[in-house]
A = this chain, B = another copy of it.
Amino acid sequence: MAEVKPKTKTKKTRQQDPEGTKRNITEVAMREFVNRGLSGARIDEIAANTNTSKRMIYYYFGDKDRLYLHCLEEAYREIRDGETALKLDHLTPKDALKKLVEYTFEHNNNHPNFVRMVMIENIHHGSFIDRSDIIQKLNATVVNDLEEIYLRGVEEGVFRKGIEAIDLHWHISALCFFNVSNRDTFTKIFEKNLNSDAEQAKLCQQVVAMIMRFVAA
């Protein structure tokens, strides 16, 4: 019964803490991966920054690839976990879409780890996503929510017909993702600091405007 995890029921003075150790390793590994990429990440470096040893990384995660996959899944889980609380049903289609776009913009901005893990995954041609059962299941929601809003808008005559929800999601993602993924090179090449709150607020507003105008009837 190797799969039986000892739940942390009794939180008294325990010195062994498997869940905590795993969590600690995951956090440190995530930092290392997002900063250096999959191949650039060093297991020794991760080990040195945990409260535990390299041995435990292999004990819990098997090898580097599986540790990376775990971090990738964790990044997807984190970003999707925060996504439920929007309550868009009782808003007008326009307001709902606006809120969704603003939210996506902020969300990408607040989760650079997610953005960077996806970048890394694309460098590796998405080969780890293939192997993950979990990630597939985490993504239906966004497009469904979006489709609902869009169809409602079309029905009410405020959105034009003929757009597919997934395409809309594609464009929203593009604008919000790129803002985080390419900030380093863009900032350096065009010598424009995009990190300030004011600049980000302006960009967010522009992204919203772009999407709203795109779907407008």
Report which of B38, B188, B213 forms a contact with A126, defined as CB distance below 8 A.
B188
Known A135-B189, A190-B139; contact A173-B184, beta-carbon cutoff 8 A:
no
1/0 per residue A127-148: CB within 8 Å of B? 0011000011001000100000
A184 proximity list for chain B (CB < 8 A): 121-122, 125-126
Given contact pairs A116-B123, A178-B174, A185 touches B37 in the complex (Cβ within 8 A): no
Q: State the Cβ distance, A209 to closest chain B Cβ, in Å.
A: 6
Asked if A81 is at the interface (CB within 8 A of a chain B CB), the reply is: no
Selected contact of A213 from candidates B125, B178, B213, CB within 8 Å:
B213
- A window 152-199: CB within 8 A of B: 163, 166-167, 169-171, 173-175, 177-179, 181-190, 192
Report whether A206 and B126 are in contact in the complex, using a CB–CB cutoff of 8 Å: no
Residues of B contacting A167 in the complex (Cβ-Cβ under 8 angstroms):
202-203, 206
Known: A37-B38, A40-B37. A207 touches B171 (CB 8 A): yes
CB-based contact A139/B189 at 8 Å: yes
Interface residues of A (CB under 8 A from B): 35-40, 116, 118-126, 129-130, 135-136, 139, 143, 163, 166-167, 169-171, 173-175, 177-179, 181-190, 192, 202-203, 206-207, 209-211, 213-214, 216
